[in-house]
Amino acid sequence: MKITELLAHAAERGEPVFSFEFFPPKTDAGVESLFESIRALRPLAPSFVSVTWGAGGNVGGRSQEILARIARESELTAMAHLTCAGVSVDELRATLSSFRAANIKNVLLLRGDPPRGVREFTPHAHGLAHASDLIQLAREGDGAPLCIGGACYPEGHIESKDPLDDLRHLKAKVDAGAQFLITQLFFDNRCYFDFVGRARAAGITVPILPGIMPITNVDQVERFTALCGASVPPKLAAAMRVRRSDPEAALQLGVAWATLQCADLLRRGAPGIHFYTLNRSPSSRAILAALRAMEPWRG
């Protein structure tokens, strides 16, 4: 099913969508443990799962293999991520065609990041510079239309010097054909609601799914937030600091903070939650189980 249809049906019923993001593991053992996580999700009926594409400037890795196996072994709706990083337009066209051939209907189209240690994104000599270019590419030709999502940044993209520019570029991305948006992770819901307000005022009307990452490891969260520019509220930062050397306590804090955050988002009208699982689904499963029991979206 297309994610736009999932979002529309959920909105008609007054219910949220829940999605889970995974990255392609490098080893066979990692792939097996990923599929255990995916199997464990089934009882919670996720709306869709997504598989990232490369990272830190790498090309796809095992994304397509993972997507094919999800299609073979489950009835889950899957979304493929795809970035412009390191590849030519011809290679992007070929990957989009292979998605269509594999009956993948949903794609999250992204620019990608520069390689680790490099500050600026440089497109491939015959490649694309912006996500909006890739969205345009995916819409040309007469292949089956894909359901297209894009990324957005409640606290601004890390390279962006001017939030208004960032919003103008986001509007261009939606005008190019992004039918829904998923946010970068954030820990303070004010960032999301303020951003949605600004996006609506700028004429962006597509659903904006909040991306939530339950803290599982304090050092890792600090690394991620430094890379993507997401802020950590001082009270959460202090609670993290005192649990730095107690992984179990950090995990519990992560589940508790994200559960409260998600409940507030859904009570105040967010269309669903996209969980950044980092391939470890127990925290996201615990949060979703509590949300399903509590149904904060019913007010």
Residues that bind ligand FAD (CB under 6 A): 52-55, 81, 83, 108, 110-113, 130-132, 151, 157, 159-160, 165-166, 169, 173, 182, 184, 211
Task: Give me the residues paired with residue 48 across strands.
Answer: 19
**Cβ closer to ligand FAD: 110 or 236?**
110
State both tokens at 42.
Answer: 């089934």
**Cβ closer to ligand FAD: 40 or 227?**
227
Task: Give me the residues paired with residue 232 across strands.
Answer: none
- Closest by CA position to 275, among listed 264, 266, 267, 287: 287
**Cβ closer to ligand FAD: 2 or 111?**
111
- Confirm whether 15 is a catalytic residue: no
> In the complex, what is the shortest distance from the CB of residue 285 to ligand FAD, in angstroms, rounded to a whole number?
20
What is d(CA 106, CA 178) in angstroms, rounded to the nearest whole number?
11
Q: Which conformational region is residue 229 in: left (phi greater than 0), alpha (psi within -120 to 50 degrees), or beta?
A: left
Q: Which residues of 54-69 are buried (b: 16+ CB within 10 A; e: fewer)?
A: beebeebbbbbebbbb
Position 216, amino acid: T
**Cβ closer to ligand FAD: 163 or 290?**
163
What is d(CA 82, CA 51) in angstroms, rounded to the nearest whole number?
9
CA 152 vs. chain centroid, Å, equals: 9
Residue reference for tokens 């491939």: 124
> In the complex, what is the shortest distance from the CB of residue 109 to ligand FAD, in angstroms, rounded to a whole number?
7
**Cβ closer to ligand FAD: 10 or 108?**
108
Q: What's the burial of 32, exposed, middle or buried (CB within 10 Å: 0-12/13-18/19+)?
A: exposed
> In the complex, what is the shortest distance from the CB of residue 230 to ligand FAD, in angstroms, rounded to a whole number?
10
**Cβ closer to ligand FAD: 37 or 183?**
183
> In the complex, what is the shortest distance from the CB of residue 17 to ligand FAD, in angstroms, rounded to a whole number?
14
Q: Which conformational region is residue 54 in: left (phi greater than 0), alpha (psi within -120 to 50 degrees), or beta?
A: left
> In the complex, what is the shortest distance from the CB of residue 43 to ligand FAD, in angstroms, rounded to a whole number?
25
State both tokens at 114.
Answer: 């520069």
State both tokens at 11.
Answer: 């909105």
Q: Is the separation of the CB atoms in 82 and 139 below 8 Å?
A: no
> In the complex, what is the shortest distance from the CB of residue 50 to ligand FAD, in angstroms, rounded to a whole number?
8
Catalytic residue among 5, 12, 15, 21: 21
Residues labelled catalytic: 21
